[in-house]
A and B are shown apart, each in its own frame.
Chain A
Amino acid sequence: MFYRETGQFKTSYRTDQAVFPIKQDAIGIWVLLAILFIVVPLTFNDFWLNSIMIPTLIFSLAAIGLNLLLGYAGQISLGTGGFMGVGAYSCYKLTTIFPDVNILIPILLSGFVAAAVGVLFGIPSLRIKGFYLAIATLASQFFLVWAFGRIEWLYNYNPSGAIEVPTRRIFDIAVTGPHATSMTRYLIILSIVVVLTWVASNLVRGRIGRAWMAIRDMDIAAELIGIKLLQTKLTAFAISSYYAGVAGALMVFMWLGAAEVESFDINHSFLILFMVVIGGSGSLIGSFMGAAFIWVLPIFLRSAPDYIGLEIGAATVEHINFMVVGALIIFFLIVEPNGIARLWQIGKEKLRRWPFPY
């Protein structure tokens, strides 16, 4: 079947405003979900689930969070790593205090703590923009990491300073801790990411998303059509940090199993930022593409030479990875600011006309 929208007439504004107004896209997304929920668990081994699928999903969630703030609302943040930490430590404290509560609840609630912290550190965005805001959020990043290291209560006075994830069960099935299987964890993460992605797409398609984009594109005009800058920016910081917080909690509880201060350092903030830039700022699909790309590239570089019988040292692979990612960031910043997502869209537009040149 050709990829076409001809003949698909929208008879109501409701269908016209759907997430995927073109039928082939809507079918495509259901097929993709079926693959992710059924085919992947049946066919992927532990290595694939643990090293590729799980981290890609978690980073995608964090990237969506940053994308809402940066790509939609136009407010830069270098504090993603710190906000992920707030989520992880909150989740740890919540499940320590309420050990019998279903672990999914602390995970989803920890996002609210991150949201509150995000709002607090988002307040400077009222007065400052761009580069200076980046520096202010950088300060929040350093402050948070400092707090994670210094406040012993946060890691239950553990002498090592690390948080270690306890085993938690849902219906007698271990979902966190050493007994939880990759497949269980993968399916839980996937479900959370799918739901939160759907929520993000709801937000950006409506009034909230338009208010964000308006202040991104021209804050003076935004104020003039009745948008309150303070409220809109802080909402963006709150929701963005919620996503980062949940991603941080998932990262520790459902992937790493333990974490210390370094797990939330500035490198993570940059990692997520690069995922947004390369994937496409202002695109939810781009967040997934960027996360997958940045996460999988080094794994690919490490294993590809083996397949073709080349011997390349681990250090060299690291360097190549840095160079490729660096070059791509520059490429996307200069040539295609809307990232891989835009290339994907251009590809689809070509496909819509194919095989006719016009």
Chain B
Amino acid sequence: MNTAIAEIQPGKPILAMDHISLSFGGVKAIRDVSFDIRKGEIRAIIGPNGAGKTSLLNVINGFYHPQEGIINYKGAKRNDMKPYVAASQGIARTFQNVALFAGMSTLDNIMSGRMLKMKVALPWHIIRFGPAEREEIEHREFVEQIIDFLEIQAIRRTPVGRLPYGLQKRVELGRALAMEPELLLLDEPMAGMNLEEKEDMSRFVLDVNDQFGTTIALIEHDMGVVMDISDRVIVLDYGQKIADGTPDEVKNNQNVIDAYLGVAH
């Protein structure tokens, strides 16, 4: 495990992926992909279905281990690691198909994002008075700020399993934010949302990036959103990177146009 990590200046790469390949048996999900994510930017990952976008996020947060390639995170080469190690190094994420704790309330879901920051040991929890309660209140205050920020005060006590999809996505973002991540990975945060919800979510993403300086990598299918909010875009197709650049550069790239229009390879 490599925890000796340097502080990265804005604009410098926080994460660099070097010739990454990942396959499942015969399926090559990612083929020789290299790119970097700079501190403070919003990096979009786009591509047709099955292009390998989710797999790429899974590699970044230690879920999948690539067969080839080198990952540099915050200036240090990163070895294969468990997701909770990635979490402790400041990587948080949301999932394509919401992965909330369905039986828990909105508040508890977001509080659970503070898990790594809560240190008081078990014996104190047995009596709760004192350190355990103080810690709980301290983190509750932080979580309430997130709840205010995401405008979900009204559903604080509702078990998230009963919430509509759009709100679940918002709570999931809240849980990731509670981790105070340096690098936030969002897997299709606006999928299945109506226009108004998408606008809200875009605003939250921009505000997070702006107010907390959080670096964000997001997968999104809605081109309008991608062009509006991202600084740089990677385009994947069949596991390969076919374009990388600013939204304008990518938009006019012939490979990208072909991939999206389904030109034969």
Give the B-binding residues of A (Cβ under 8 A). 12-14, 17, 199, 202-203, 205-208, 210-211, 213-214, 216-218, 220-228, 235, 282
Question: Which residue of chain A has its CB nearest to the CB of B114?
Answer: A207
Judging by beta carbons under 8 Å apart, are A203 and B83 in contact?
Answer: no
Q: Tell me, yes or no, whether B59 is within 8 Å of chain A by CB.
A: no
Task: Tell me the dominant secondary structure on chain A's binding face.
Answer: helix
Bound Cα distance A80, B4 (Å): 45
Give the shortest distance, in Å, between B174 (CB) and chain A (any CB).
Answer: 12
Interface string of B40-64 (1 = CB under 8 A from A): 0000000000000000000001010
Query: Are A14 and B104 in contact, CB atoms less than 8 angstroms apart?
Result: no
In contact, B120 and A14 (Cβ under 8 angstroms): no
Within 8 A of A (CB), among B79-106: 82-84, 86-88, 92-93, 95, 99-104
Chain B residues closer than 8 Å to A227, beta-carbon distance: 84, 112, 115
Residue of A nearest to B160 (CB): A217
The reply to whether A221 and B122 contact each other, CB–CB distance below 8 Å, is no
* CA of A135 to CA of B113, assembled, Å: 33
CA distance A199 to B127 in the complex (A): 6
A226 near B116 with CB under 8 A, answer yes
- B112 touching A225 by the CB < 8 A rule? yes
Sample 19 A-B pairs with CB under 8 A, ordered by A number.
A13-B136, A17-B133, A17-B136, A202-B125, A202-B132, A206-B128, A207-B136, A208-B125, A211-B112, A213-B101, A218-B101, A221-B101, A223-B83, A223-B84, A224-B63, A224-B92, A225-B116, A227-B112, A228-B84
Determine if A213 and B133 form an interchain contact, defined as CB atoms under 8 angstroms apart. Answer: no
Distance, CA A238 to CA B84, complexed state (A): 22
A225 touches B175 (CB 8 A): yes
Let me know if B179 and A205 touch, CB within 8 A: no
Contact between chains at A214 and B87 (CB < 8 Å): no
Residues of B within 8 A of A (CB): 61, 63, 82-84, 86-88, 92-93, 95, 99-104, 108, 111-113, 115-116, 118, 120, 122, 125-128, 132-133, 135-137, 140-141, 144, 175, 179
Give CA–CA (A136, B13) in the complex, Å.
48
Cβ–Cβ contact B103 & A213, under 8 A: yes
Question: Is there contact, CB below 8 Å, between B141 and A210?
Answer: no
Whether A210 contacts B103 by the Cβ 8 Å rule is no
**Given A221-B99, A224-B93, are A210 and B116 neighbors across the interface (CB < 8 Å)?**
no
Q: Are A199 and B83 in contact, with the CB atoms below 8 A?
A: no
In the bound assembly, the distance between CA atoms of A210 and B122 in angstroms comes to: 13
Nearest A residue (CB) for B175: A225
Task: Indicate if the CB atoms of B112 and A203 lie closer than 8 Å.
Answer: no
Q: Besides A202-B125, A202-B126, A224-B84, 15 other CB < 8 A contacts?
A: A13-B136, A13-B137, A17-B140, A203-B125, A210-B112, A211-B112, A213-B101, A213-B108, A214-B115, A217-B103, A221-B101, A224-B61, A224-B86, A224-B92, A227-B112
Distance in angstroms between the alpha carbons of A13 and B141 in the assembled complex: 8
Residues of chain B with a CB closer than 8 A to A217's CB: 100-104
> Taking the nearest CB of chain A, how far is it from the CB of B1, in angstroms?
13
Closest to A16 in B: B140
Query: What CA separation (Å) do A210 and B133 show in the bound complex?
Result: 14
**Distance, CA A140 to CA B86, complexed state (A):** 35
Q: Could you say which of A214, A221, A222, A225 has the most chain B C-beta atoms within 10 Å of its C-beta?
A: A225
A218 touches B84 (CB 8 A): no
Task: List residues of chain B with CB within 8 A of the CB of A223.
Answer: 82-84, 87
Contacts of B93 in A (CB 8 A): 224
Selected from A203, A207, A213, the residue in CB contact (under 8 A) with B120 is A207
| Minimum Cβ distance to chain A for residue B147 (Å) | 12
Partner of B125, one of A207, A225, A228: A207
Which of the residues B84, B100, B104, B122 comes within 8 Å of A235, measured between beta carbons?
A: B122
CA distance A225 to B86 in the complex (A): 9
